[in-house]
Amino acid sequence: MKLLGAVLIILASTWAGIEWSRTVSERSRQLRQLKAALQSLEAEIVYGITPLSMACGHICRQVGHPVSWFFDSFRKKLDAGHSTAYEAWIESMEEVWKYTAFKQEEKEIMKQLGATIGQQDREHEQKQLKLALIHLEREENEARNNQTKYERMFKSLGVLGGILLVILLI
Amino acid sequence: MEEVLRLLPEGVKRIIQNFSQNDKESMEEIRIRINRPLEIMMTGKPVFPLLNGSEYYVSKDDAAQMLNKLSQYSLYALEEELKKGFVTIQGGHRVGLAGKVITTNGHVKAIRDIASFNVRIARQKLGIATPLVSYLYAGGWMNTIILGPPQSGKTTMLRDLTRIMGEGDEMRRIQSSKIGIVDERSEIAGCVKGIPQHRLGHRVDVLDSCPKAEGMMMMIRSMSPDIIVVDEIGRREDSEAIIEAINAGIQLVVTIHGHVMEDLYRRPSIQELIRSGVFERIVELSRSDGPGTIKAIKDKTGREIRRKKVM
B164 and B66 in a common domain: no
Q: Judge whether residue B181 has pLDDT over 90.
A: yes
A128 close to B (CB below 8 A) = no
B233 and B164 in a common domain: yes
B162 and B241 in a common domain: yes
Do B71 and B78 meet the contact criterion of CB atoms below 8 Å apart? Answer: yes
B178 and B201 in a common domain: yes
Q: What is the pLDDT of residue B250?
A: 92
For residue B203, count CB atoms less than 10 angstroms from its CB and return exposed for 0-12, middle for 13-18, buried for 19 or more: middle
Query: Residue B214 is part of which domain span?
Result: 130-307
Q: Provide the mean pLDDT of chain B.
A: 87
Mean of the pLDDT values across residues A33-52?
Answer: 89
B299 and B249 in a common domain: yes
B155 and B86 in a common domain: no
Cα A43 to Cα A55: distance, rounded to the nearest angstrom? 9
Give domain status of residue A160, yes or no. Answer: no
Give domain status of residue B125, yes or no. Answer: no
Q: What is the pLDDT of residue B311?
A: 39
For residue A44, count CB atoms less than 10 angstroms from its CB and return exposed for 0-12, middle for 13-18, buried for 19 or more: buried
For residue A61, count CB atoms less than 10 angstroms from its CB and return exposed for 0-12, middle for 13-18, buried for 19 or more: exposed
ipTM, interface predicted TM-score of the complex: 0.73
Q: What is the pLDDT of residues A105-119, one digit of tens each?
A: 888 999 999 998 888
Give domain status of residue A66, yes or no. Answer: yes
Domain count of chain B? Answer: 2
Q: What is the pLDDT of residue B79?
A: 85
SS3 content of chain B, % helix, strand, coil (to 5): 30, 35, 35
Q: Which residues of B touch A (CB under 8 A)?
A: 61, 64-65, 68-69, 71-77, 79, 110
Give domain status of residue A11, yes or no. Answer: no
B226 SS3 class = coil
B183 and B98 in a common domain: no
Interface probe, candidates B10, B74, B108, B111, chain A, greatest A C-beta count within 10 A: B74
Cα B76 to Cα B67: distance, rounded to the nearest angstrom? 12
What residue of A is the nearest CA neighbor of B81? A121
Q: What is the pLDDT of residues B14-51, one digit of tens each?
A: 888 888 888 888 888 899 999 999 999 888 788 898 88
Instruction: Report the residue from B65, B74, B110 with minimal CB separation from A52.
Output: B74
Q: What is the pLDDT of residue B310?
A: 43
Domain end call among B120, B143, B175: B120
Q: Judge whether residue B309 has pLDDT over 70.
A: no
Give me the CATH number covering residue B217: 3.40.50.300
Instruction: Report the residue from B65, B72, B110 with minimal CB separation from A121.
Output: B110
B264 and B134 in a common domain: yes
Q: Judge whether residue B143 has pLDDT over 60.
A: yes
Asked if B61 lies within 8 A of A83 by C-beta distance, the reply is yes
A127 close to B (CB below 8 A) = no
Chain A residue numbers touching B110 (CB-CB < 8 A):
121
- Residue B180's closest CA among B226, B148, B111? B226
Query: Residue A63 is part of which domain span?
Result: 31-151
Give me the CATH number covering residue B40: 3.30.450
